[in-house]
Amino acid sequence: MAWLDDVEEIERRRARALALGGAERVQRQHDAGRLTIRERIDALLDPGSFVEMGALAGEGDGEKFLPAGYVGGLGRIDGRDIVVGGEDFTVRGGSERDGRTKDRMILEIANEFKVPTVLLHDGAGGNIENTLRRGYMQIPTWSNDGLEVDLLATVPVVAGVMGSVAGGPATRAMLSHWSVMPKKSAQLFIAGPPVVKRAIGLDVTKDELGSSEMQVHASGAVDNEGEDEYDCFRQMREFLSYMPRNVWELPPHREPNDRPDRKEEALLSIVPKNRRQPYDMKSLIMMVVDDGIMFEIRPHHGRCLITALARLNGHVVGIMANNPMVNGGALDGPGADKQVHFMELCDQFRIPIVYFVDCPGFLVGPDAERSGALRRGMRAFWTTFSITVPLIQIIVRRCYGVGSVTSSRTDHLKLRIAWPSGEFGGIPIEGGVDAAFRRIIESAPDPVAKRVEIEERIGRLRSPLLAAEAFGVENIIDPRETRPLVIRLLEMAQQKRGYSLGIKSRPGVRP
Amino acid sequence: MELVGIRAETAGSIWKILVTLDDQVAVGDVVAILESMKMEIPIVAPIAGRVTEILVAEGSSVSGNQLVAMLEQVERDVR
């Protein structure tokens, strides 16, 4: 019992740390519709799994003790180790201090043990009071020696935008593989309304500047949106359930309640015979994947492309699918950006990609050109060629132009599977005919009839069965066979993925 | 009562308009059909409401995010 007094003192100090910035500040945090950092960590982790590091750090003695404005440590999600940390807004608004800080320690633990990292951001970063304390101005440097950048190459990094997040924490939230923010009660911006007012003379509210409407829907800076903070934590747990511990491991297999040989009857009629009529691509995906469950990544931005994590016979897969309801599935700038990030995410963590193709090509027109759809689209194309995870493409309907080539790779096994509704070509018939046969059409006695005649003549070549005969497509399948076939291919590729684990080298220069 | 705009998500031409002034629509009702990238893409009501203004004609071309019609919000779904 020699050390009992000291141990009791540790307990007293721990208890003071639990009080955060004091009852009044905690109340203010709750009044803003927000949880405290300790409540957030509790809601995220498996019950009782949090092991705090640095709980006794702070300043002031006895009752005047104020804990450091950051809480972090080790935790578990579904029994798997992670590290977690976040600014405590109730202590000086979660602002940063000089010196070795707890947020850096969290990153160092993640880097040392190579475990997933969850950062729950709340606060505005730098505090001008530090300058007064220091007595001089500093050249801006990244305080953690780029640890955040290193982690992006090795372990899954999740960012939560939980409160008003600006400055340093806002930038760190971007250095993540996936991010989420609640619909109300949180904002993200480079700088808040007072700074905006001083800099450009504009009056804006926090929500106008950085609500989920801005950052999830309009800008795409944050991937997903939660109904509230609890929903964000549920989504974080779900996202991590698809992720391996690090790049030296394969994603976890989970036993499905679904049969690998299930043939979904409705797949036979989901694509309308009328070629101009769109359909619900998300339903299509859910009919193929295990138990009809998928976790959509960035659902509100770049919506011409659907990206989702799902499982096929228990194996984690990345699903990409063009959405015929948006742009008719044509790839635009935001969709291309989304494709690049998603493909890199899957490649990094050895998640095979299944791509349901229904893409008429790049989006055309002045809006598309102005937004750089061509360069951004070719960046997606370039990424397709730079990844090494298996990529299985199912041509559901349209597959035209270079916009569609972003779905396949010619340098690897060229295995293309088409549904009978599949149609493809370098140039679409409509439009292509106008360009190539302009003179013949114009000089005909009835130009309209002539154009229709030529279109019909070429249209007869559209059948994928003709392409299959010429071995221009490797397989045409009954749509109901999609799930069993894709599972067979995935399971064949499963072992190979284990041969090349580790940090991915970064090839070349993106267009 | 709040007025809410219905927008064409992408550039294209208005192929069909399926509502007339003063029509009541429910959330998700198809208000018009946009022809874009050779696909007939439904433009749906984001909220339940009454059509107070139609800002395009059949055959007119629209740019991405252009207003197509205005809705006056009603308290609850009329369906």
The DSSP annotation for B14-70 comes to EEEE---TT-EE-TT-EEEEEEETTEEEEEE-SS-EEEEEE---TT-EE-TT-EEEE
Task: Find all residues with CB under 8 Å of A358, minimum gap 6, and list them.
Answer: A281, A321, A322, A324, A329, A395, A396, A397, A398, A399
HSE-CB at A69 with a 13 A cutoff on CA atoms is 20
- Which secondary-structure segment (H or E) carries A353? strand A353-359
Q: Within 10 Å of residue A28's Cβ, how many Cβ atoms? A: 14
Question: CB-based contact (8 Å) between A429 and chain B?
Answer: no
In this structure, the dihedral spanned by the alpha carbons of residues A62, A63, A65 and A67, taken in order and rounded to 10 degrees, is 120
Q: Which residue ranges make up each domain of chain A?
A: 4-241, 265-500
Instruction: Locate A271 and state its tokens.
Output: 């694509």
> Is B57 inside any structural domain?
yes
> Is B78 inside any structural domain?
no
CATH number for position B40: 2.40.50.100
> Is B79 inside any structural domain?
no
Minimum-distance CB partner of B64 among A325, A328, A367: A367
Query: Are B38 and A330 inside 8 Å of each other by CB?
Result: no
Instruction: Locate A235 and state its tokens.
Output: 């989504």
Query: Are B41 and A326 inside 8 Å of each other by CB?
Result: yes
Minimum-distance CB partner of A367 among B11, B38, B42: B11
Among B13, B30, B37, B62, the residue to mutate for chain A (most A Cβ within 10 A): B37
A277: distance to nearest CA of chain B, Å? 6
C-beta of residue A261 within 8 angstroms of C-beta of residue A488: no
Query: Are B11 and A276 inside 8 Å of each other by CB?
Result: no
Give residue A61's pLDDT.
79
CA distances to A95, A366, B9, B13 from B62, rounded to whole Å, are: 47, 12, 10, 6
C-alpha A312/C-alpha A487 separation (Å) is 6
C-beta of residue A43 within 8 angstroms of C-beta of residue A229: yes
C-beta of residue A216 within 8 angstroms of C-beta of residue A300: yes
Where helices occur in A420-500 by DSSP H, the ranges are: 429-436, 438-443, 447-459, 464-469, 482-497
> Is B17 inside any structural domain?
yes
Give residue B79's pLDDT.
47
Range of the domain at B8: 3-73
Q: Which residue has the tokens 């059909």?
A: B33
Instruction: Locate A431 and state its tokens.
Output: 């439009």
Task: Find all residues with CB under 8 Å of A146, minimum gap 6, and list them.
Answer: none
Chain B residues lying within 8 Å of A324, measured CB to CB: 39, 41
Give residue A1's pLDDT.
80
Which is nearest to A498 in space by CA: A153, A243, A156, A247?
A247
Calculate the average pLDDT of chain B: 90
C-beta of residue A454 within 8 angstroms of C-beta of residue A362: no
Q: Over A383-408, what HEC string results?
A: HHHHCCCCEEEEEEEEEEHHHHHCCC
The CATH architecture of the domain made up of A265-500 is: Alpha-Beta Complex (3.90)
Nearest CA in chain A to B61: A365
Q: What is the domain count for chain B?
A: 1
Per-residue pLDDT of chain A (511 residues; tens, 9 = 90+): 899 999 999 999 899 999 999 999 999 999 999 999 999 999 999 999 999 999 999 888 777 888 999 999 999 999 999 999 999 999 988 777 666 688 899 999 999 999 999 999 998 877 777 788 888 888 877 777 889 999 999 999 999 999 999 988 999 999 999 999 999 999 999 999 999 999 999 999 999 999 999 999 999 999 999 999 999 999 999 999 999 999 999 999 999 999 999 999 999 999 999 999 999 999 999 999 999 999 999 999 999 999 999 999 999 999 999 999 999 999 999 999 999 999 999 999 999 999 999 999 999 999 999 999 999 999 999 999 889 888 899 999 999 888 777 666 655 666 789 999 998 887 777 778 888 888 888 888 998 888 888 888 888 888 888 888 888 888 899 999 999 999 999 998 887 777 789 998 877 898 9
Minimum-distance CB partner of A360 among B11, B37, B63: B37
Identify any residues that bridge with A77 across adjacent strands, giving them in sequence order.
Answer: A80
Whether ipTM tops 0.95, in short, is no
Among A271, A303, A327, the residue to mutate for chain B (most B Cβ within 10 A): A327
Task: Find all residues with CB under 8 Å of A153, minimum gap 6, and list them.
Answer: A247, A348, A503, A504
Size of interface A-B (CB pairs under 8 A): 49
Query: Are A276 and B39 inside 8 Å of each other by CB?
Result: yes
Give residue A228's pLDDT.
97
What's the whole-number mean pLDDT along residues B33-53? Answer: 93
What's the whole-number mean pLDDT along residues B38-46? Answer: 92
C-alpha A257/C-alpha A388 separation (Å) is 30
CA distances to A286, A401, B76 from A312, rounded to whole Å, are: 11, 29, 40
Among A300, A323, A326, the residue to mutate for chain B (most B Cβ within 10 A): A326
> Is B61 inside any structural domain?
yes
Give residue B76's pLDDT.
57
In this structure, the dihedral spanned by the alpha carbons of residues A77, A79, A85 and A91, taken in order and rounded to 10 degrees, is 90
Chain A residues lying within 8 Å of B66, measured CB to CB: none
**CATH level 3 topology of A4-241:** 2-enoyl-CoA Hydratase; Chain A, domain 1 (3.90.226)
Q: A residues 289-308 near B, CB within 8 Å?
A: 303
β-pairing, A294-297 vs B67-73, is unpaired
Nearest CA in chain A to B65: A367
In this structure, the dihedral spanned by the alpha carbons of residues A268, A273, A279 and A282, taken in order and rounded to 10 degrees, is 30
C-beta of residue A119 within 8 angstroms of C-beta of residue A163: no
C-beta of residue A119 within 8 angstroms of C-beta of residue A161: no
Minimum-distance CB partner of A276 among B9, B10, B40: B40
β-pairing, A58-59 vs B24-25, is unpaired
Minimum-distance CB partner of B37 among A277, A303, A328: A328
Do domains A4-241 and A265-500 share one topology? The answer is yes
C-alpha A292/C-alpha A258 separation (Å) is 9
Question: CB-based contact (8 Å) between A330 and chain B?
Answer: yes
